[in-house]
Structure 1
Amino acid sequence: MTYEAFLDEVTTLLTEMYDMEDEAAIKLVMQAQDAEYFVIHDDKPELRTLEQAKTEAVALYKARQNRVETQQKQQRAQHQRSTGPKTGPKTGPKKR
């Protein structure tokens, strides 16, 4: 398949496998392309298969999920730093 058809297939698989909106899948594939993720696929036509498209769709989606999770963790950490440590009722030995 052509390079363009391969990218189209990856995009289609993202929408089908992960129920992504077309625009989100297109954006994800375009970002990967801008980052030169697909250069090897352009250089090696034998990598442009349906099986490889599925592999790449899974990899792109997992990478996206990891980025989202990392951003959420960073935001929570930032929020905790800005609000200060949480303190609860003090517990210790009971006085008699």
Structure 2
Amino acid sequence: MTYEEYLDEVTTLIFEKYDIPENEAVKIVMAAQDKEFFVRHDKSAKLRNIDQAHKDAKTLFEAAGVKLAAKPAANAAAKPAANPAAKPAAKPPVKSAKGPAKPSK
């Protein structure tokens, strides 16, 4: 595959395997390009294969994971907290059909 096809494949794998928005996957791959992560891939066609694409997608996703992992926590903070002062409803006492218990001897 060509260098451009390889970058597309890595981007698609990040998007599909790790369930992040496509534009975020593109940003991850572009940032990796800026840091010259793909220079070896450009020079060697042997590195542009589907197995390597899976490895690179995982590597890049994990490297970006710190920023991405912070998003769910921010969303969780926006949810209203449960009311700690609220008490659970009391259960009504259970009545026996046999009447009061007899003392044992």
- How does the TM-score come out when normalised to structure 1? 0.68
Between the two proteins, the alignment pairs up a number of residues equal to: 69
Match of 1:32 in 2: 32
Structure with bigger RCO (C-alpha 8 Å, 6+ apart): 1
Equivalence for 2:14: 14
Report the secondary structure of 1:20's partner residue. coil
Aligned-partner Cα distance in 2 for 1:3–1:20? 23
Structure 1 segments (4+ residues) deviating >6 Å: none
Alignment TM-score, normalising by the size of structure 2: 0.62
Partner of 2:23: 23
Q: CA RMSD in A?
A: 1.4
The answer for the alignment partner of 1:68 in structure 2 is 67
Q: Which has the larger radius of gyration?
A: 2
Take 1:40 and 1:20, find their aligned partners in 2: how far apart are those partners? Answer: 26
Q: Structure 1: 5+ residue runs without aligned partners?
A: 73-96
Match of 2:52 in 1: 52
User: Where does the alignment leave 5 or more consecutive residues of structure 2 unmatched?
Assistant: 71-105
Partner Cα separation in structure 2 for residue 68 and residue 4 of structure 1: 26
Report the identity percentage.
48
